[in-house]
Structure 1
């Protein structure tokens, strides 16, 4: 158990439905204990106690750690070259370092099971490697706060041509080795590749082939065996029995939503059109788009614009897809460019994904009792750019109340040093006994009955 008392002081706290300027977030034993107007806390002079930590968040946003329910990033880390597969366990450790730096505190590694490789053959997508990754991620859950920087989860993407893998997929779900499943159909002529011209151009981007070869592949894929509705229903039933969310992928028609409703799919990933996205939302489904789509302002495959869809409330979740840095960037792009309220923008990558994945009772928002997965975000000025242009960066990240990432940008040193000087001057003034009592009272939050906690709190001094 993490017994550290943590106070993140003076930041703009982004809750699920409100933004609270100049507030303090109190953390005890890895959970959020209170959110209160800031009292300007700092460690009392001479205090040197590892059980008490105060983070100065003035001028920064304090937000929930982001939850990424669809990420291919581990493939890039584990397979930095098309023909190379690095040690998988080491790759997961390396990946979490970068993900923590981007503010992603819960990751759903999206591993794909295919029947045939249409575009290119990546060894990391060999079924054996996928199953090894499933095993590694599954083993991380019970020791995540003791041995890892972030929370690792598994999103198994099931291409419906993976007929020969049906029994193995079923076994994984039944054993509880996965945390989310989605059904994909990349057959050309529908879904993401309803435009055969786009499919052909995409294929040629991977392989040097003729138009005749493209036509042959299209015909071959359209005629290939697919999982039956009965098989998909059985997999979905097993998932629901274990509390695992089911997602559909590349929904391009109302009829497809009807088919996925039979599987009780709770998520529509990357709906192709605005009409389908709106219909999915009307049916109570969560709708997911890629954060890179928001950053670029358009879909790389010519489909739905995420910016427009978020603005129309047709999309309620974002994922990194293939680019983790886009998560935080998309939040601020929607806030600055589209004018989206910051609480609503952050909910796209925090509260809503947590709800869709069935983990919102523990993470996804800043609320008393939840796990203290938190990030401190500052806006870093861009050299040579206009005064209002900046890049959002994560300067601190916490998982279960432990600091798992800290970035020391020189640009923020003057701001914090100036604040520290003001606090030291204020601390020179005598503090009346009744004021000291009031300060202790301000710290008397949810854990006030805990004698050990009260001893820690008395080591903190409030400076107003």
Structure 2
């Protein structure tokens, strides 16, 4: 917990429902005062002095900048690329975690739920490396950290041999978030013929013969999935306070089916109708920030902006590109899709609520944990100048101007 007293002065503070020019006082890791223009300059100065003032508190000048709650990323598998940036090039897990963590405050991410996949796919999606990384994250975050580390276990349902591992982690409450994935060919993300094969060949470095064997094996295992067992496991996770998600839902029927698994989040629905149905059922709907930044899906699926405009998505995640999260927030506001306060909620308060921590973080409010950003803009592009986690200033940056 940060013991340092901080005073953030003169910024455009993004509150839950509006922007307000003002100051924020942070003590003992908590937000203890929010002093806006409604208090008047004299009142703000008096209140700030009473709580420490410039002689006792470290002051951060936020004039002309935005003050945001720290971003909460519930789905990002970029740690896997940090471990294995190319096929057959594994780096030490400790190095990968530390170096990846150092990048996150730069992008305003103060809580990262590392998405670690168990099953067919890339990088850590093998049993041994995944279990090692989960143990490492638990060990590392108990000793020191720059951000809050959580674990999002993504289970590929056809990976039958991995089911006991998932059950163990759920029963021991070693994960914070569980999602069920089915990346088998012919449905979901890989409905287009040949799309699964092209993806695996590109990302795993295998040839045509090898990928054909992968497909045969996957489809055979997919036929042996015990869906009742998975449903029981999902409900067990939910009962233990672990949020549960479905993934790549391609129809309302698919959403309805997974609601029986205890899910409260639908990740990356494939089309507007499915996204709207999930939202109408009271589920959180998560879409990718890279989709917003690039203007569309790299897989030619639903445009995230369309779902947001229809009120069918309430969470943004970085998916595979952490830098996109803050950029997407500001792009949504700049383009008038939603206002800035609403865009910020998609990357802070809503994901916090989805994972059951909304009472502690996710917004700038008195009494909440002090995970706070100061954000400047250059040519309308947002850049973090200060990142505060639990009241501790973990990142600070400034620019020089060539003469």
TM normalised by structure 2 equals 0.91
Match for residue 288 of structure 2?
A: 290
Offset of residue 371 of structure 1: 0.3
1:61 aligns with 2:66: yes
Give a deviation string over 1:380-411, Cα, whole Å, max 9, x none. 13xxxxxxxx3210000000111000111125
Match for residue 338 of structure 2?
A: 340
Contact 2:76 2:320 in 1 (8 A): yes
| Distance (whole Å) between structure 2 residues aligned to residue 326 and residue 359 of structure 1 | 23
Match for residue 306 of structure 1?
A: 304
Offset of residue 198 of structure 1: 3.2
Unaligned runs of 5+ in 1: 382-389, 414-464
Contact 1:311 1:338 in 2 (8 A): no
SS at match of 2:13: strand
Aligned match of 2:153 in 146, 150, 156?
156
Match for residue 449 of structure 1?
A: none
Offset of residue 125 of structure 1: 2.8
Give a deviation string over 1:90-114, Cα, whole Å, max 9, x none. 3222111100110000000000001
Contact 2:286 2:313 in 1 (8 A): yes
Question: Which range is displaced more, 342-351 or 91-100?
Answer: 91-100
Structure 1 residues 263 and 52, CA, compared in 2 at 3 Å: closer, same or farther? same
Match for residue 189 of structure 1?
A: 186
| Matches for 1:333-372 after TM superposition, within 5 Å | 333-372=331-370
Structure 1 residues 49 and 83, CA, compared in 2 at 3 Å: closer, same or farther? farther
Offset of residue 217 of structure 1: 5.2
SS at match of 1:199: helix
| Distance (whole Å) between structure 1 residues aligned to residue 313 and residue 342 of structure 2 | 12
Question: Which range is displaced more, 91-100 or 218-227?
Answer: 218-227
Match for residue 230 of structure 1?
A: 228
| Matches for 1:4-403 after TM superposition, within 5 Å | 4-20=4-20, 22-37=21-36, 39=41, 52-114=57-119, 116-117=120-121, 122=123, 124-143=124-143, 147-206=144-203, 207=205, 209-210=207-208, 218-225=215-222, 226-381=224-379, 390-403=380-393
| Distance (whole Å) between structure 1 residues aligned to residue 213 and residue 293 of structure 2 | 36
Offset of residue 164 of structure 1: 1.0
SS at match of 1:224: helix
Structure 1 residues 13 and 353, CA, compared in 2 at 3 Å: closer, same or farther? same
| Distance (whole Å) between structure 2 residues aligned to residue 270 and residue 48 of structure 1 | 46
Contact 2:68 2:375 in 1 (8 A): yes
| Distance (whole Å) between structure 2 residues aligned to residue 131 and residue 213 of structure 1 | 26
Contact 2:305 2:337 in 1 (8 A): no
| Distance (whole Å) between structure 2 residues aligned to residue 83 and residue 202 of structure 1 | 17
| Distance (whole Å) between structure 2 residues aligned to residue 157 and residue 208 of structure 1 | 23
Structure 1 residues 172 and 60, CA, compared in 2 at 3 Å: closer, same or farther? same
Give a deviation string over 1:38-95, Cα, whole Å, max 9, x none. 5476999xx9999621111000000000000001111122223322222222322211
| Distance (whole Å) between structure 2 residues aligned to residue 289 and residue 320 of structure 1 | 9
Unaligned runs of 5+ in 2: none
Contact 2:231 2:262 in 1 (8 A): no
| Distance (whole Å) between structure 2 residues aligned to residue 409 and residue 351 of structure 1 | 30
| Distance (whole Å) between structure 2 residues aligned to residue 227 and residue 141 of structure 1 | 34
Structure 1 residues 128 and 199, CA, compared in 2 at 3 Å: closer, same or farther? closer
Structure (1 or 2) with the larger CA radius of gyration: 1
Contact 2:118 2:155 in 1 (8 A): yes
Give a deviation string over 1:404-435, Cα, whole Å, max 9, x none. 00111125x9xxxxxxxxxxxxxxxxxxxxxx
Offset of residue 202 of structure 1: 3.1
Contact 2:371 2:389 in 1 (8 A): yes
Structure 1 residues 10 and 221, CA, compared in 2 at 3 Å: closer, same or farther? same
Give a deviation string over 1:323-366, Cα, whole Å, max 9, x none. 10000110111111244200001111001100111111111000
Offset of residue 205 of structure 1: 3.5
| Distance (whole Å) between structure 1 residues aligned to residue 256 and residue 191 of structure 2 | 18
SS at match of 2:333: helix
| Distance (whole Å) between structure 2 residues aligned to residue 339 and residue 165 of structure 1 | 41
Offset of residue 223 of structure 1: 2.8
